[in-house]
Amino acid sequence: MKTEVILAGHGGQGVLELANWLAYFHLARGRHVAYTPSYGPETRGGKVKCYVVASDEPIDSPIVEEPDLLVAMNIPSMDYLPLLKRGGRLLVNSSLVKDARSRADVTVTEVPAAGIAAALGPYSPQKGRDTSIAANSVMLGAVLAIEGEELERQRATVEEVFRHFLTERKAAYIPLNVQAVEDGYRHVRGAPPLLRAIPV
Amino acid sequence: MTAPRQFLKGNEALAYGALHAGLQSFYGYPITPSSEVPETLATQVGRPEYPEFRTFLQAASEVEAINLMLGAAATGEKTMTATSGPGFSLMQEGISYAHGAELPMLIANVNRAGPGLGNLGPEQTDYFAAVKGGGHGGYRNVVLAPDSVPEMASFPSLGFSLAFRYRTPVILLTDAFLGQLKEDLEFPTIESPTFDTPWAATGARGTTRHVLSSMHIELPEQNLVSRHLRDKFAEITRREQRSEELETRGARVVFVAYGICARLAQRAVRVLRDRSVPVGLFRPITLAPFPRDRLRALVDEGVRSFVVVELNTGQMVEDVRLAVDGAAPVRSMNQFGGLLPSYRDLVDEIGALAA
Amino acid sequence: MIAASAPREAKFGPSSIWTGTPTHYCAGCEHGTLTHLIAKALAERDARERTVMVSSVGCSVFAHEYLDLDSVQAPHGRAPAVMTGIKRAHPELLVFSVQGDGDAASIGLLELLHAANRGEPITIFMVNNAIYGMTGGQMAPTTPVGMVTTTSPEGRSVPQAGYPLDTTKLVASLEGPAYVRRVFFPISPTPAPDFFNARGALEGMQAVRHAFDAQEKGGFAFVEFVSTCSVNWKMSVLDAKRYAAQVLAPLFPSGVLRDRFGLERR
Ligand SMILES: Cc1ncc(C[n+]2csc(CCOP(=O)(O)OP(=O)(O)O)c2C)c(N)n1
Ligand code: SF4
Ligand SMILES: [Mg+2]
């Protein structure tokens, strides 16, 4: 197994976090991973673009030149579309990218990440607060669905990812983020959001 | 750590690698893209996990940092700094003095782009400054070049071994890409060797005192000392050349690359081998001493030409030409300014050679 | 270094020195304010054609993108030496630099003190935000005891890093300088005063003018601007201003420490 992903968006969307989570998910599955944050000219003007490679074999170049998957969190990210491998996958955050133009050979998946995250509000321990910040976790669920992971069997791995990154005060957000991953995953698989009890 | 494997930035791995190797003191001055090294170490000083690591000091400048290290090294302590080009320039005087007095120390240079302030992208433009010696008086550094996060973690240990075995400054030459890259790694169970330092200045005992000086005012005396330094580097060159090869067996063309360029070349070699093109990769691990013996041997094994890939306008290519000594053509492929070549450029280069 | 803020021509009036390029300074950063005051002071004296700016290394490094002036880049900390070289070659030029506290008081302290001691007729503005802003929040020599930075994760401690360095006092301890002043620069956040009514900006404007006057009268001028860096202090802009008022103002008291030409009396 080997996947190469470009994730792009702008500062404040949690793109780098998302990329770290994705890489760590694969690491926890026992794979080799390489994550490259934005660097050089790409970092000016708030642009974010990063690479995640995951592979059962040791990774040669960590630089993603022909991704299997492009995660486009905003409109300028669509500039990377020509890089996609033939038959590659495009995942767009349709909360920001409307009517994603695409290529004939590319399969497009649209996920209204902010909307799905915001709908979690009443069901999360953060009820009453704006939960649309969990949009990047929704996208993580979507990526896992596209990459063919079986979330039912990988729930513990997802929790491990969040336990690794969300420590101390942020740990309170782990349940919300796991829920967001679930709903992002289900959206791609064509299933409705999970029915959850409202915490009391 | 819950996960069996760790997920660290190159610069963080370098910091932890140094701690595992028994680092005792760190002196440095912040500079992007190396600052994660001091920032990581600042959180670890005084921790029970690393009882030997007692001193972390942010110096007033790189000039002060390298001189703080001269003092620490003179007592036989394992001392290190991390910097990038502009700071590395300021350290050259101190490095020269360290050679003159034969003081072991580890200096990591996370190479950024351009002369002057340049930019924060990756380059390999400090090759000459590190390998040929950027300071005065004619000394030779030992220079190590990791190409992955796991090597960023394991090379401090190798660096200290060489530094103490030969009483020499060792440069760990890496780049802005590897410094920021995150990879999985299994923390090597690095042994933290202790070294005999009978030369250290920690107080005269009986008839033995320790004079660590680079001044030899009598001409014949300086002549002797310089001979000794020359012979020492000759011995290092005989014994410590390190390199790694990928698919060089049966290869007609071989890439020569280090650091992040070696990773790009790995990709190019895999792609070309899938197309049955006989290419390989030769990766110097010690840039100094340059692994010339093994490189030269490749010609006898049938390699017809070499392509040197580096992030500068052509520096290591000179050492490759010296090693090959006219026995095969050596071509230079460069990218710079903080930009990286595409692995496809490497593939095309071979296509052009084959045509 | 994150958000781009729009140029403030509306409030300052168009300046012949201002390029109009949107600045890179973070919201609320005094670097931006100072750059505007300098543009205004130079425009007032119509000095564009006889001014050379020396860029130091820190968040002031892009000043040449906003100030439409000749400029020369100095290595980190060496601006006073580069300025001296320019001034000695062309004494008729107005030569100035904006240095950070790290630039001036850490790596460049030697160049600063010697230029001051020789009384070189140059003008130095030091933005003291008590931290290394450009490189992401490491400890500076001016960092208050107890302040958490990326290289003092437990807070600055005296045994480890000594006391905060009082650069203005050091400069004023020398005979050479003609004009030495410290200004508390953050504009008080309450009750949302109009920018120009704020004391910090008014005092700052006066100090910038006098620092150029002093140079034109042949003296060395140094002004420290006690400032904030909300991003690297990890505070909101308002909290940063408050912290500056509570912690930095007593540590670095405002005042005119040297006024050899009696500029303040006029
Ligand atoms: C020789 C050298 N060392 C280190 C650096 C990295 N560096 C750039 S700016 C800076 C410090 C900036 O802090 P300060 O002077 O306080 O300015 P501020 O950004 O806070 O205004 C450092 C350490 C450099 N450019 N050159
Ligand atoms: S000094 Fe701090 S607040 Fe000002 S521009 Fe630099 S990082 Fe931003
Ligand atoms: Mg500062």
User: Is A7 a residue whose pLDDT tops 60?
Assistant: yes
**Rounded percentage of chain C residues whose pLDDT exceeds 70:** 90
According to the model, what pLDDT value does residue B191 have? 67
User: Is A200 a residue whose pLDDT tops 90?
Assistant: no
The Cα C224–Cα C258 span in angstroms is: 13
Q: How confident is the model at residue A39 (pLDDT cuts 50, 70, 90)?
A: low
CB contact at 8 A, A199 and A125:
yes
The Cα C34–Cα B189 span in angstroms is: 53
User: Is C2 a residue whose pLDDT tops 50?
Assistant: no
Neighbours of B256 (CB within 10 A): 30
Confirm or reject contact between A23 and chain B (CB < 8 A): yes
The Cα B159–Cα B163 span in angstroms is: 6
The pLDDT of C42-57, averaged and rounded, is 96
According to the model, what pLDDT value does residue A78 have? 95
According to the model, what pLDDT value does residue B233 have? 98
- Chains with ≥3 CB–CB distances under 8 Å to B: A, C
Tokens encoding C179: 């004009």
* Token pair 């996958």: residue: A89
The pLDDT of A88-92, averaged and rounded, is 97
Q: Which chain C residue is nearest to residue A46, measuring alpha carbons?
A: C2
Quick one: how many helices (H) and strands (E) in chain C? 11, 9
According to the model, what pLDDT value does residue A195 have? 82
Q: How confident is the model at residue C5 (pLDDT cuts 50, 70, 90)?
A: very low
Flag whether the ipTM exceeds 0.85: yes
Confirm or reject contact between A46 and chain C (CB < 8 A): yes
According to the model, what pLDDT value does residue B354 have? 63
Q: At what angle do helices A151-165 and A135-146 cross, to 10 degrees?
A: 140
Nearest alpha carbon to residue B192 among B16, B48, B21, B54: B21
Q: How confident is the model at residue C10 (pLDDT cuts 50, 70, 90)?
A: very low
User: Is C139 a residue whose pLDDT tops 70?
Assistant: yes
Chain A residues in contact with B119 (beta carbon < 8 A): 40-41
Tens digits of pLDDT across chain B (355 residues) = 334 689 999 999 999 999 999 999 999 999 999 999 999 999 999 899 999 999 999 999 999 999 999 999 999 999 999 999 999 999 999 999 999 999 999 999 999 999 999 999 999 999 999 999 999 999 999 999 999 999 999 999 999 999 999 999 999 999 999 999 999 999 867 667 789 999 999 999 888 899 999 999 999 999 999 999 999 999 999 999 999 999 999 999 999 999 999 999 999 999 999 999 999 999 999 999 999 999 999 999 999 999 999 999 999 999 999 999 999 999 999 999 999 999 999 999 998 776 5
User: Is C4 a residue whose pLDDT tops 70?
Assistant: no
Print burial letters for B163-187: b (CB count within 10 Å at least 16), e (below 16): bbebbbbbbbbbbbbbbbbbbbbeb
The Cα B222–Cα B216 span in angstroms is: 5
Tokens encoding A126: 């953060």
Q: How confident is the model at residue C129 (pLDDT cuts 50, 70, 90)?
A: very high
Where are the alpha helices (H) located in A46-200, listed in sequence order? 113-119, 135-146, 151-165, 174-188
Counting Cα atoms < 13 Å in the Cβ hemisphere of B1 gives 11
Strand partners, C96: C53, C123
Strand partners, C100: C127
* Sequential DSSP letters for B154-216: HHHHHHHHHHHHHT-EEEEEEEHHHHH-EEEEPPP---------TT--S--BTTB--------
Q: pLDDT tens across A128-170, in order?
A: 788 999 999 999 999 999 999 999 999 999 999 999 999 999 9
The H or E element spanning position B256 is strand B253-256
Instruction: For ligand 2, say whether the CB of C232 is within 6 Å of any of its atoms.
Output: yes
Q: Which atom of ligand 1 is nearest to the CA of C56?
A: 15
Q: How confident is the model at residue A43 (pLDDT cuts 50, 70, 90)?
A: low
Neighbours of B326 (CB within 10 A): 9
According to the model, what pLDDT value does residue C3 have? 39
* Token pair 């003609």: residue: C178
Sign of the alpha-carbon dihedral angle for B98, B233, B193, B23: positive
- Which of C61, C109, C151 is facing B30, going by the closest CB pair? C151
Distance of CA A91 to the CA centre of its chain: 9
Instruction: For ligand 2, say whether the CB of C99 is within 6 Å of any of its atoms.
Output: no
Confirm or reject contact between B121 and chain A (CB < 8 A): yes
Confirm or reject contact between B181 and chain A (CB < 8 A): yes
User: Can the peptide bond before residue C191 be classed as cis, meaning omega within 30 degrees of 0?
Assistant: yes
Where are the alpha helices (H) located in chain B, listed in sequence order? 10-20, 36-42, 62-74, 85-100, 127-128, 149-166, 176-180, 219-239, 260-274, 292-300, 316-324, 343-354
- Which of B121, B176, B183 is facing A33, going by the closest CB pair? B183
For chain B, positions 254-293, list CB contacts with chain A under 8 A: 263-264, 266-267, 270
Instruction: For ligand 2, say whether the CB of C172 is within 6 Å of any of its atoms.
Output: no
According to the model, what pLDDT value does residue C105 have? 98
Instruction: Please report, for residues B100, C94, C121, C180, the alpha-carbon distance to residue C211 in angstroms, rounded to integers and kept in the order given.
Output: 47, 11, 10, 8
Chain A residues in contact with C4 (beta carbon < 8 A): 45
- Indicate the range of A73-87, C80-94, C176-190, C223-237 predicted with least confidence: C176-190
Confirm or reject contact between A122 and chain C (CB < 8 A): no
Q: Which residues line ligand 1 (CB under 6 A)?
A: B 29-31, 62, 86-87, 90; C 57-60, 76, 100-103, 127, 129, 131-135, 140
The Cα A93–Cα A70 span in angstroms is: 11
Nearest alpha carbon to residue B81 among B90, B288, B323, C235: B90
CB contact at 8 A, B323 and B296:
yes
User: Is C9 a residue whose pLDDT tops 60?
Assistant: no
- Indicate the range of A77-86, A121-130, B139-148 predicted with least confidence: A121-130
C202-207: list long-range contacts, CB under 8 Å, 24+ apart: C203/C254, C204/C33, C204/C34, C204/C37, C205/C37, C205/C40, C205/C41, C207/C181, C207/C183
The pLDDT of C117-125, averaged and rounded, is 98
Burial label for C160, CB within 10 Å (0-12, 13-18, 19+), is middle
**Rounded percentage of chain A residues whose pLDDT exceeds 70:** 96
User: Can the peptide bond before residue B104 be classed as cis, meaning omega within 30 degrees of 0?
Assistant: no
Strand partners, B288: B143
The Cα B134–Cα B294 span in angstroms is: 26
Nearest alpha carbon to residue C121 among C260, C266, C16: C260
